[in-house]
């Protein structure tokens, strides 16, 4: 057992966020500065309405995001396209030339803004071949959508029904199973070859499904894939803190107006960008693994995407503070995860 006391400050290479929603329009003014204050780069999810499906749209979206980065901060949005049954293989080359790094698979109907998603993976095979040739990654929201599959089993069934066949058919296509939530996902990713990686969110490391129901229904803990039982959370913590290069930081920070989360059919998504690295530090500290945070947050993702590691650093201090309990989101209100609660680690600016 490690008996060295945990440090009170921690300096690590500046991290990146490998799974992020920033939305568009006025929302960018709130959420992009939060991410840019912590991370050097982020993989920007394409599930806008309408979705980002062309290289030209991705380039235009990148410029709108860049325009929302506060002066003095350097932040690079890494763009993705949204895979549909109709995404043409020719668009993949244009996308690569425009600097797009990945394509996102949403099974149709699986999550927020996924109506345009894939109905049958076979329809996308020519496009996946083009991605394998061009070196674009395939990022997956890994859940099946059939009504006969229990909500809590959708990730495990996706692996059996879709991921295993996909990896057999495209052995040299790099894939990321995004926001993993189960022991089954950890087992599968852990035993796979170096073409498969996985991101893990702060909220899936911090909470189990009791959080959604403690003392009443708590819509701000509702996201997809939904939080799972405690044994799954522990498997995720073990994976993230193991030092394995297959796992990397992806917040899946997903802003929604508070009135649409506190609603009869509240939307899925937790907002964590305002204090993301602090929440991860809390998890790693609690697991006695602060020394593994830098690999998970700053190295493994860059290496997997074959991008250079960042050169500057950030410093975290063990210091209680309370982030604001809400932010403006255009005309609406944005309530972050753990609104108004004390956090034990603080990022020094
Ligand atoms: C995300 C969103 O709001 O865009 N929601 C979520 O619950 N995670 C979509 C997603 O990543 O599945
Ligand atoms: Zn998702
Ligand atoms: Zn997401």
Where along the chain do its domains lie? 9-347
Q: What pLDDT shows up at residue 3?
A: 62
Peptide bond into 225 cis (omega under 30): yes
Q: What pLDDT shows up at residue 1?
A: 52
**Whole-structure pTM value:** 0.98
Which residue's CA lies nearest to atom 9 of ligand 1?
112
Task: Give the pLDDT mean for 118-126.
Answer: 95
Name which CATH class applies to 9-347.
alpha beta
Task: Give the pLDDT mean for 106-131.
Answer: 93
Ligand 1 pocket, 294 CB below 6 A?
A: no
Residues 191, 193, 197, CA angle at the centre, nearest 5°? Answer: 85
Atom of ligand 1 nearest to the CA of 106: 12
How do residues 225-275 score in pLDDT, each as one tens digit?
Answer: 999 999 999 999 999 999 999 999 999 999 999 999 999 999 999 999 999
278: Cβ contacts below 8 Å, ≥ 6 apart: 316, 343, 345, 346, 347
Atom of ligand 1 nearest to the CA of 256: 3
The ligand whose atoms approach the alpha carbon of 142 most closely is: 2
How do residues 126-178 score in pLDDT, each as one tens digit?
Answer: 999 999 999 999 999 999 999 999 999 999 999 999 999 999 999 999 999 99
Q: What pLDDT shows up at residue 114?
A: 87
Quote the mean pLDDT of the chain: 97
Looking from the CA of 167 toward its CB, the CA atoms found within 13 Å total 21
User: Is residue 32 pLDDT above 90, yes or no?
Assistant: yes
Residue among 202, 282, 253 nearest 32 (CA): 253
Q: Taking the C-alpha atoms of 242, 245, 249 and 252 in order, what is their torsion angle to the nearest 10 degrees?
A: -110
322: Cβ contacts below 8 Å, ≥ 6 apart: 340, 341, 342, 343
Ligand 1 pocket, 224 CB below 6 A?
A: yes
Ligand 1 pocket, 203 CB below 6 A?
A: no
User: Is residue 293 pLDDT above 70, yes or no?
Assistant: yes
């Amino acid at each position: 057992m490690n008996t060295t006391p945990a440090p009170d400050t921690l300096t690590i290479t500046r991290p990146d966020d490998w799974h992020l929603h920033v939305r568009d329009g006025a929302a960018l003014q709130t959420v992009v500065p939060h991410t840019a204050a912590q991370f050097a780069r982020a993989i920007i999810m394409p599930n806008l309405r309408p979705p980002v499906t062309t290289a030209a749209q991705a380039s235009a979206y990148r410029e709108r995001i860049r325009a929302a980065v506060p002066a003095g901060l350097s932040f690079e949005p890494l763009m993705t396209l949204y895979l549909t049954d109709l995404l043409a293989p020719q668009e993949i080359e244009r996308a690569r030339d425009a600097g797009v790094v990945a394509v996102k698979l949403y099974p149709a109907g699986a999550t927020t803004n996924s109506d345009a998603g894939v109905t049958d993976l076979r329809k996308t095979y020519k496009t996946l071949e083009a991605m394998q040739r061009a070196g674009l990654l395939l990022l997956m929201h890994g859940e099946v959508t059939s009504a006969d599959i229990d909500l809590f089993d959708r990730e495990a069934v996706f692996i059996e029904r879709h991921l295993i066949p996909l990896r057999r058919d495209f052995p040299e296509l790099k894939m990321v199973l995004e926001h993993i939530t189960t022991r089954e996902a950890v087992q599968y990713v852990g035993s796979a070859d170096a073409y498969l990686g996985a991101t893990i969110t702060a909220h899936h490391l911090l909470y189990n499904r009791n959080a959604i129901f403690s003392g009443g229904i708590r819509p701000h803990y509702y996201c997809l894939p939904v939080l799972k039982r405690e044994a799954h959370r522990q498997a995720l913590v073990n994976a993230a803190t193991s030092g394995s290069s297959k796992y990397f930081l992806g917040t899946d920070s997903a802003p929604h107006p508070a009135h649409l989360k506190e609603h009869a059919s509240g939307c899925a998504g937790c907002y964590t960008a305002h204090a993301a690295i602090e929440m991860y530090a809390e998890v790693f500290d609690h697991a006695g693994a602060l020394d593994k945070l830098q690999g998970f947050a700053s190295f493994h993702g860059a290496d997997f995407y074959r991008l250079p590691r960042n050169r500057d650093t950030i410093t975290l201090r063990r210091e209680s503070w309370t982030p604001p309990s809400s932010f403006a989101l255009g005309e609406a209100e944005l309530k972050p995860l753990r609104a108004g609660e004390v956090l034990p680690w603080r990022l020094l600016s």
